[in-house]
Structure 1
Amino acid sequence: MEELVNLFHGFAVALQPFNIAVMFIGIVLGVIIGVLPGLGGANGVAILLPLTFSMSPTSAIIMLSCIYWGALFGGAITSILFNIPGEPWSVATTFDGYPMAQQGKAGEALTAAFTSSFVGALFAVIMITLVAPLVAGFALRFGPAEKFAVYFLAFCSFIGLSKEPPFKTLAAMMIGFALAAVGLDSMTGQLRLTFGFTPMLNGFDFLIAVIGLFGIGEILLTMEDGLAFRGGKAKINLRVVLHTWKELPRYWMTSLRSCVIGCWMGITPAGATPASFMSYGIAKRVSKRGSNFGKGEIDGVIAPETAAHAAGTAALLPMLSLGVPGSPTAAVLLGGLLIWGLQPGPMLFVEQKEFVWGLIASMYLGNLAGLLVVLTCVPLFAAILRVPFSIIAPLILVLCAIGAYSVHNSTVDVMLMLMFGVIGYVLKKCDYPLAPLVLAIVLGDKAEEAFRQSLLGSQGSLGVFFSNGLVSSIMILGLIALFWSVINDGWSKLRTGVLNRAA
């Protein structure tokens, strides 16, 4: 009951005129970011984060989260109309969305995609509303050892549960740890890895690194590919929307299954992209028309879009309640909270109730606003792809430079941003994931601090990380996540051997 009262207070905060305005601005900017290949939710939030410095934390996080919702919506537009995935998680949408558009059903495909995205996000937000306070209340029992165990679980999950090669994930994470260690040691006050370079006394600013890694790195890759936009036109009228909505209840099982898959993959660090592919694959396997998938089946659009939006939204649950992001965009939002002086985690629900519940309420309103915006403005957003990329790319680069300079009003930050852009470009060319690197930059110093505090309290004994049932359970879960692929392969071989002997 208390959560319901807090949620109503959150709606009172989110429905303030200024917050409603930034909500719609964020949605429109997010859809544009989602439409433009080479950008994405994490990139857009990172590039536009400096615009929110003059806002209150509540208004700022509402705008940034709405940019994220808009990017999730926008990725479907290019996937269906142009067969160009605006986002990685929209790749699966192209399989059936683009064939539907070629058959003259672009309106039905877009309506199904947007509505399914809204349903997936709504399911995830309801879950966050019900579960986040419980998780946060439980997490109040955490000391330094338990906090380190949670960070350990997050790092191990990225390595063991990710679809990326474990070595590359670990290597990217190590680079992030090294970058997080630059500057003053929080425990001793000594300088580390500055090499006499004065601007490095405070370490690498998280925002500079993210703008370079995501924004500049993606633009360099896109420019190298020589991306050209080609596609058709699309119109959505009320008749098409109502007809599609009338058909969608027939696929309620696909939607429900995709919601569950998306929420699970969002809470774990797997993310929206694996969720969309997994949901599409299961839908194809279960459907009576599975053999026709890839030729224009509407449930081939419903499944990936529902799962992607559920995963993208659910990724905010561990960030808010534990201070551990479940996606790259959540990691960027986590960095934003730290910049505004807010510490994500269980105490956030105690000390900043208005902020937390205002954000949760804005998730409901933001996704509803996003659905209305994309249903009414598809032709306008699709027309963005008629602008030559040679014009769009310099505009994005200028935005990145302005964002980097505005952090400390320093040209050194712009140079560092370009350096990180080259690093991001090289890592992506070598197929190294950036999400673990971002996670390590954000949480590396905090994990180190919790680890050292734990050892100080236990006089150097590592047994502190297995000293009680709570910390032991989390550490064991982390080890299981780390070696999950090995455990899974061993189990499969053992099962195959038993079946062969039985035969």
Structure 2
Amino acid sequence: MDDLNNLLHGFAVAATLPNLAYMLIGILLGVLIGVLPGLGGANGVAILLPLTFSMDPTTAIIMLSCIYWGALFGGAITSILFNIPGEPWSVATTFDGYPMAQRGQAAQALTAAFTSSFVGALFATALITFLAPLLARFALRFGPAELFAVQLLTFCSFVGMSKEAPAKTMISMLLGFALATVGMDDMTGQLRMTYGFAELLKGFDFLIAVIGLFGIGEILLTMEEGLAFKGKSARISPRIVWQTWVELLRHWKTFLRSMAIGCWMGITPGGATPASFMSYGVARRMSEHPERFGQGELAGVVAPETAAHAAGTSALLPMLTLGIPGSPTAAVLLGGLVIWGLQPGPMLFTEHKDFVWGLIASMYLSNIVGLLVVLTTVPFWAAILRIPFAIIAPVIIVTCAIGAYTVHGAMFDVFMMLVFGVLGYVFKKLKYPLAPLVLALVLGDKAEANFRQSMLMSQGELSIFWSNGLVGGITGLALLMLVWPLGDAARQWARRREARPAVAQ
């Protein structure tokens, strides 16, 4: 009952005129970011985060989260109309969405995509509403050892569950750890890897890094690929919306499976992109007509969009309750909370109730607003895509530079943004994942502090991480996630060996 009262209070906070106005602005900016290839939810939030420093933290987080929801909606527009994924998680949507558009069913495909996104996000938001307070109360029992075990589980889960090669994931993460150690050691006061640069005494600014890694890096890669927009136009009418909704009722099993997959991949550090592909694959496997997938099957649009939105929304659950981001965008939002003077974790629910419940209530409102916005403005967003990318790219780069400069008002930050941009470009070219690097950069110093505090408490004994059932269970699960790829590699080796033709005796 207390949680219900808190949620109602959250609606009172989120439904104020300023918050509703920033909610709408965030949705519009997010859809634009999702529509334009070369940006993305994490990129947009990172670029626009400096603009929120003067805002009330509740208003700021509502606007930034709405940018993310809008980007999730907007990615489907380019995927269906232009066969160009506006977001990585929209790739699976192109498999059946674009063939539907080619057949003259663009409006139906877009309606299905937007509705599926709304349903997935609504389910994940309800999950956060009921689970977050319970998880936060449970997390109050955590000490330094338990917190480090949870952070270790997060790092190891990226290795065990990433679609990239484990070695690439670990290299990316180790680089993030190295960057996180730059600056002054909080416990000893010693300088580490500053190399005489006074600007590095406080370490690499997380915000500068993500603007460069995501914003500049993606733009450089997109410019190299010589992107051009050619696609279909669409206009959604109330009649088509109603007819599509009636047809979607027949896919309720696909909705349920996709919501479950999306929420699981969001709470664990899987992310929206693997969730969308996994959900598409499961939908195809469970379908009575798998041969229709790839030819314009409606379920092929429903599955990835539902899972992606459910994953993107549920990624905020571990971020709010444990301070562990479940996605790159959640990691950027985590950095924003720290900048605003808020400490993510269980105490957030007791010390800043207005903030937490205002954010949760805004998730319900913003998804309703987002659905209405995208259903009524599709022709406008499709028209924007006909602007030459040679004009859009410089505007994005200048916006990134302005965002980086406003963090500390220093040109050194703009220079570092460009350095991180080149690093992001190289990582994308070599197909190294950026999410583990960002995660390690955000949580590296916190994990180090918790580990060192644990060692002080145990006088250097690692057995503290098995000292009770809670910390031992989390640590054991983390180690299992770390070695999980070895099992997959062993099974693949065994299958290859069995497939070899027998050698004649």
Tell me what 1:73 maps to: 73
Tell me what 1:501 maps to: none
Partner amino acid, structure 2, of 1:208? I
**C-alpha separation between the residues in 2 aligned to 1:60 and 1:337?**
10
**C-alpha separation between the residues in 1 aligned to 2:427 and 2:94?**
26
Q: Does 1:354 align with 2:373?
A: no
Shift of 1:245: 1.0
Shift of 1:445: 0.2
Q: Does 1:480 align with 2:474?
A: no
1:161–1:482 Cα contact (<8 Å) kept: no
Q: Percent identity?
A: 72
Q: Deviations over 1:217-271 (max 9, x none)?
A: 0010011111111112110011111111111111111101100010001111111
**C-alpha separation between the residues in 1 aligned to 2:250 and 2:315?**
28
Partner amino acid, structure 1, of 2:146? E
**C-alpha separation between the residues in 2 aligned to 1:309 and 1:112?**
13
Tell me what 1:381 maps to: 381
Q: Deviations over 1:416-436 (max 9, x none)?
A: 111111111111111111000
Tell me what 2:135 maps to: 135
Tell me what 2:90 maps to: 90
**C-alpha separation between the residues in 2 aligned to 1:456 and 1:495?**
47
Q: Deviations over 1:138-172 (max 9, x none)?
A: 00000000010010000000011111111111111
- 1:99-178 aligned within 5 A: 99-178=99-178
Partner amino acid, structure 2, of 1:310? A
Q: Deviations over 1:446-486 (max 9, x none)?
A: 00000000001111111111111111010001011111122
Q: Deviations over 1:276-299 (max 9, x none)?
A: 111111111111121111111111
2:166–2:485 Cα contact (<8 Å) kept: no
Tell me what 2:426 maps to: 426
Structure 2: gaps (5+ residues): 498-505
Tell me what 1:364 maps to: 364
Shift of 1:492: 8.6
**C-alpha separation between the residues in 2 aligned to 1:451 and 1:275?**
32
**C-alpha separation between the residues in 1 aligned to 2:423 and 2:102?**
39
TM-score, scaled relative to structure 1: 0.97
1:73–1:114 Cα contact (<8 Å) kept: yes
Tell me what 2:213 maps to: 213
Partner amino acid, structure 2, of 1:157? S
**C-alpha separation between the residues in 1 aligned to 2:401 and 2:313?**
29
Shift of 1:188: 1.0
**C-alpha separation between the residues in 2 aligned to 1:54 and 1:80?**
38
**C-alpha separation between the residues in 1 aligned to 2:493 and 2:98?**
40
Shift of 1:64: 0.5
Q: Deviations over 1:383-414 (max 9, x none)?
A: 11110001000100110011000001111111
Shift of 1:487: 3.4
**C-alpha separation between the residues in 2 aligned to 1:52 and 1:301?**
35
**C-alpha separation between the residues in 2 aligned to 1:280 and 1:128?**
24
Q: 1:211 to 1:496 in 2, by over 3 A?
A: closer
Partner amino acid, structure 2, of 1:179? L
Count of residue pairs brought into register by the alignment: 497
Tell me what 1:269 maps to: 269
1:27–1:69 Cα contact (<8 Å) kept: yes
Partner amino acid, structure 2, of 1:259? M
Q: 1:485 to 1:375 in 2, by over 3 A?
A: same
Partner amino acid, structure 2, of 1:140? L
Tell me what 1:395 maps to: 395
TM-score, scaled relative to structure 2: 0.97
Q: Deviations over 1:163-186 (max 9, x none)?
A: 111111111111111111111101
**C-alpha separation between the residues in 2 aligned to 1:493 and 1:260?**
31
**C-alpha separation between the residues in 1 aligned to 2:343 and 2:320?**
9
**C-alpha separation between the residues in 2 aligned to 1:356 and 1:211?**
26
Moved >4 Å (runs of 4+): 488-497
Shift of 1:51: 1.1
**C-alpha separation between the residues in 1 aligned to 2:55 and 2:68?**
18
Tell me what 2:232 maps to: 232
Tell me what 1:438 maps to: 438
**C-alpha separation between the residues in 2 aligned to 1:492 and 1:477?**
23
Q: Deviations over 1:327-383 (max 9, x none)?
A: 000000100101101111111111111100000001101111100000000000111
Tell me what 1:51 maps to: 51
Tell me what 2:500 maps to: none
Q: Deviations over 1:185-205 (max 9, x none)?
A: 011111111011111111111
Q: Does 1:290 align with 2:285?
A: no
**C-alpha separation between the residues in 2 aligned to 1:104 and 1:76?**
16
